[in-house]
Amino acid sequence: MNDGLAEKARTLFAEKFGAQPEAIAFAPGRVNLIGEHVDYNDGLVLPMPIDAGTAVAWARSDDGRIHVHAADLGEGDSFEPDAPTKPGEVSWRSYVRGMAAQWDGELPALSLLITGDLPRGSGLSSSASLCIALARAFAAATGTEIDPTSLARQAQRTEHEFAGVACGIMDQMAIAAGKPEHAMLLDCRDLSYEHFAIPSDWAVLIVDSGVTRGLVDGEYNARRQQCEAAARALGVDSLRDVRMEKLVAAALPQLEARRATHVVGEIARVREAAKALQTGDLARFGTLLQEGHASLRDLFEVSHPVVDELVERLQGKVGASGGARMTGAGFGGSVVVVLPESRAAEIDGAGDGKVLRVT
């Protein structure tokens, strides 16, 4: 967590609750380098944590309730620790109450102040970051140690049960178990993972398209159902178990065939990308990012015209020496660009949109 964010959380907490917080919990956001819409198909993904994230300043209180203030929105909530109910509408409160409901054991009365520097709706996992930061605050307040995988599962259940998004587990794992400056090759079937350092002569940047992901959870859930239908038709538990030859031979209905072709191809690209990362082959890595974007745009149909245009422009600048693609669930959001460090300045500050430097 950067010092500025911690200080901000501390100051805002004191202003709101009239006392100092006991500590500040933090969780980062994440950017996915490659492996999109494959986590809920038991696939492989290659995300990494970023510096920006969510801070939760906390202190125990004595009035028997959990009081929460979302400083960046100027909104509050209050509920009994042992009876968090699902709010009528999905909002940030859903995540707070969801994480309190998932907590294994008794939570004390608490005052919590949330602030962050992660843009919402830009495909950088602000909701998973909020969930993990809250769980870290609960762990600190109760003196509990939780392993990263259990933390990630609690956060995923909150998305499913309190926010109605049937998400996979990539974001939560990347945030709970990721390592700065390292990509994480995560197997979403057994949750085993390995960290790979980003070579020092590579730069990873995120460019915001300015199109925020709106009311598209229905589209996300529909993609998941289409993948499950394709797996059923192919007689397998998940698309992870399908080879491209089998898929081509199966003659699925067109829509399901497109979705499954993306998933099977994307899992193969992640394996290749992890190899390219280990051997420092940035040109190959870049080609895989380009292929991944085309597949998300044409086969999985989760991109957005503004994002496609930005990817094209950025790819034009990077040329054959790196790659650009949409990152996250899609329908707007951000573009990730990987290019030689010596050329990062051509993207940073070139006026294509707000740029975040990851490495």
Q: Which residue ranges make up the site for ligand GLA (CB under 6 A)?
A: 36-37, 39-40, 125, 167-168, 170-171, 328-329
**Nearest to ligand GLA of 266, 352 (CB atom):** 266
Neighbour count for residue 349 (Cβ, 10 Å): 9
Which tokens hold the place of 220? 């996300």
Which tokens hold the place of 187? 């197997």
**What minimum distance in Å lies between the beta carbon of 53 and ligand GLA?**
15
**What minimum distance in Å lies between the beta carbon of 39 and ligand GLA?**
5
**Nearest to ligand GLA of 10, 37 (CB atom):** 37
CA-atom Rg of the chain in angstroms: 20
Separation between Cα atoms, residue 47 and residue 29, nearest integer Å = 10
**What minimum distance in Å lies between the beta carbon of 243 and ligand GLA?**
21
**Would you list the DSSP string of 322-339?**
-EEEEESS-SS-EEEEEE
Separation between Cα atoms, residue 76 and residue 85, nearest integer Å = 15
C-beta separation of 14 from 37 below 8 A: no
Which of the residues 171, 208, 217, 352 is marked catalytic? 171
- Name which of 184, 45, 52 is nearest 129 in CA terms: 52
C-beta separation of 258 from 292 below 8 A: no
**Nearest to ligand GLA of 101, 170 (CB atom):** 170
Separation between Cα atoms, residue 44 and residue 57, nearest integer Å = 34
**What minimum distance in Å lies between the beta carbon of 89 and ligand GLA?**
20
In angstroms, the Cα distances linking 119 to 264, 339, 352 are 31, 23, 17
**What minimum distance in Å lies between the beta carbon of 165 and ligand GLA?**
7
SS3 of residue 103 by DSSP = coil
**What minimum distance in Å lies between the beta carbon of 327 and ligand GLA?**
8
**Nearest to ligand GLA of 173, 282 (CB atom):** 173
- Name which of 34, 21, 24 is nearest 56 in CA terms: 24
Q: Starting at the edge strand that comes first in sequence, how are the strands of the sheet with 323-327 ordered?
A: 323-327, 334-340, 202-208, 355-357
**What minimum distance in Å lies between the beta carbon of 217 and ligand GLA?**
10
Neighbour count for residue 312 (Cβ, 10 Å): 11
SS3 of residue 257 by DSSP = helix
**Nearest to ligand GLA of 32, 111 (CB atom):** 32
**Nearest to ligand GLA of 121, 322 (CB atom):** 121
**Nearest to ligand GLA of 260, 329 (CB atom):** 329
- Name which of 64, 347, 344 is nearest 202 in CA terms: 344
Catalytic site residue 42?
no
Residues noted as catalytic: 171
